[in-house]
Amino acid sequence: MIGIIKYGAGNIFSVMACIKKIGKDCYFIEGGKDIEKAEYIILPGVGNFAEGIEFLNKNGLTEKIKEKLKEGIPFLGICLGLQLLFEFSEEGNKRGMNILKGKVIKFKSINLKIPHMGWNKLEILKRSRLLDGIAENSYFYFAHSYYVLPEENDIIYGKTEYGIKFPSFIVKKNIVGVQFHPEKSGEKGLKFIKNFLEKKWLQ
Amino acid sequence: MVAVRIIPCLDVKDGKVVKGIHFENLKIAGDPVENASFYSKEGADEIVFLDISATIEGRKTMVEVVKRVAEVVFIPLTVGGGINSIDDIEKLLSNGADKISINTAAVKNPKIIEESAKKFGSQCIVIAIDAKKIGESKWEIYIESGKKPTGIDVIEWAKKVEDLGAGEILLTSIDRDGTQDGYDIELTKSVSENVNIPVIASGGAGKLEHLYDAIVYGKASAVLIASLLHFRILTIPQIKSYLKERGIEVRL
């Protein structure tokens, strides 16, 4: 089963709708025990970092997610769901799940409108089967003020330009993270989620 | 860089689209799903639903509308009109809306901006401002669907909503709305230059040049369009190829 971690109060509905559209079933993970039957874990991006990590820690999800990741379960973190994987975020100055080395920082240029909101290009640095059927420089939908800075350069598979080039697509073994919202990125977004669920990228 | 967004606006009353695409087949004319799917396929970057229901019962149907649309349309959906409380926002967000646009309630109780931004994230809180020109480079905010003056200066209010955590401003010129004379460029530019959050220009689009002007001279991050699209005077592909030819980044 595909488990979607339900936290905060934002738009989880669209992730679920996307999976249904692809023809698969999913369920919500609200506490540590719900995670057991998950064959895939999706951590959507809603709300703010401090509240997100507090929810995961308080409900025993951080440890359970780590266990599942060690078992090799495919994981997809979207937007805040990607950011929560890291050690630290400037948003609320909080520690994250500390699964990936690096931190989350805020866009700083004074000439930029923040949040980075709208459709922007994914520049591919490393090819992955997660991008099967998705052309170089395809547009995806973004809505965020913070971005990730991983310590391990080789996990950065794609970048996006907004004042600077920031990592927008990362892969490390069974862990996938995207700063954009595939569930809001039309046909290409659906294709991305379909590719994730088909697991060819894992081989 | 991020592409400029082209955003169709659909007016919804009691669960039916009352200002939307003029379909030849009138049977589907009022269907929100049909309208939204059509624009999504045409290349809309986002869709705004404005609820103009006058009754509480009418407004309740909006949650159902959003849900039905979000099940099949996978681009960002913004919902505005009559949103009064954190509870209203939560219901819409948990049923598929990505952003909530607040107007009158924010003016009456600015705390709702701070609370909702903290709870749901700035990226989903849009503040809608209806502006009326009252003098040289001076605009006043009107509330209650543009009927009631407030005495509040638009630029001051725009800065305040940014400070309170709004993620975006949907700026409508009451003077230009429905005229097809073009967006109020001076207003759009003044607001955009005084805040660091994206501004959506609205009210007055009549031809392609108007869209270009709002983006280039008005410094808008997005343009909201209604009648021009609904009556098929312009189409989204036509708008996008025009803007692209003139050097503006659009998602094709």
Which one of A13, A84, A117 makes the best mutation probe of the B interface by having the most chain B beta carbons within 10 Å?
A: A117
Residues from chain B that touch A183, judged by Cβ atoms under 8 A, are 74
Kindly report the nearest CA distance between residue B2 and chain A, in angstroms.
5
Q: CB count, 10 Å around CB of A34?
A: 17
Question: For A106-133, how does the pLDDT look when each residue is reduced to its tens digit (9 = 90+)?
Answer: 999 778 999 999 999 999 999 999 999 9
Predicted pLDDT at A9: 59
Percent of chain A exceeding pLDDT 90 equals 91
- The CATH superfamily of A2-202 is Class I glutamine amidotransferase (GATase) domain (3.40.50.880)
Condensed to tens digits (0 to 9), the pLDDT of residues B11-54 reads 999 999 998 888 777 666 799 999 999 999 999 999 999 999 88
Q: What residues pair up with A161 in beta bridges, in sequence order? A: A165
Region A70-92: what's the mean pLDDT? Answer: 96
Q: Burial letters for A51-87: b for 16+ Cβ neighbours within 10 Å, e otherwise?
A: bbbebbeebebbebbeebbeeebbbbbbbbbbbbbbb
A 59-118 near B (Cβ less than 8 A): 80, 110, 112-118
Residue B195 to chain A, least CA–CA distance (Å): 8
Q: CB of A115 within 8 A of CB of A162?
A: no
Judge whether residue A137 has pLDDT over 70. yes
CB contact under 8 A, B1 and A142: no
Q: Which of A10, A119, A143 sits opposite B251 (nearest CB)?
A: A119
Q: List, as ranges, residues 128-147 from B with C-beta within 8 Å of A.
A: none
Q: Which two tokens stand for residue B6?
A: 């082209």
Alpha-carbon span B172 to B146, nearest angstrom: 10
| Ordered DSSP codes for A23-39 | T--EEEE-SGGGGTT-S
Residues in chain B: 252
- Residues A50-78: what's their mean pLDDT? 95
User: A115 preceded by cis ω (within 30°)?
Assistant: yes
Residue B4 is given by DSSP the state: P
Nearest C-alpha neighbor of A128 from the set A176, A79, A186: A176
Structure tokens at B230: 């609904």
- Residue B175 annotated to the active site: no
Q: Which residue of A lies nearest to B46 if distances are taken between CA atoms?
A: A118
Instruction: Tell me: pLDDT of A10 over 80.
Output: no
Tally of CB atoms within 10 A around A2: 21
Domain architecture of chain B: domains with CATH: 5-245 (3.20.20.70)
Sign of CA dihedral A5, A49, A119, B217: positive
Distance (Å, whole) CA A172 – CA A110:
33
Contacts of A35 (CB under 8 A, 6+ apart): A3, A29, A41, A61, A64, A65, A68
Question: What residue ranges of chain B have pLDDT lower than 50?
Answer: none
Instruction: Give chain B positions within 8 Å (CB) of A162.
Output: 1-2
Length of chain A: 203
CB B47 within 8 A of CB B40: yes
Give me the catalytic one of B11, B153, B177, B181: B11
Residue A13 contacts B where some CB pair is shorter than 8 Å? yes
Nearest to A45 by CA among A194, A178, A191: A178
pTM of the shown model: 0.96
DSSP assignment string, chain A: -EEEE--SSS--HHHHHHHHHHT--EEEE-SGGGGTT-SEEEE---S-HHHHHHHHHHTTHHHHHHHHHHHT--EEEETHHHHTTEEEETTTTEE---SEEEEEEE---TTS-SSEEEEEE-EESS--GGGTT--TT-EEEEEESEEEEES-GGGEEEEEEESEEEEEEEEETTEEEESS-GGGSHHHHHHHHHHHHH-GGG-
Lowest-confidence region among A8-17, A24-33, B15-24, B79-88? A8-17
- Return left, alpha or beta for A100; rule: phi > 0 is left, psi -120 to 50 is alpha, else beta: beta
B45, A14: Cβ pair inside 8 Å?
Answer: no
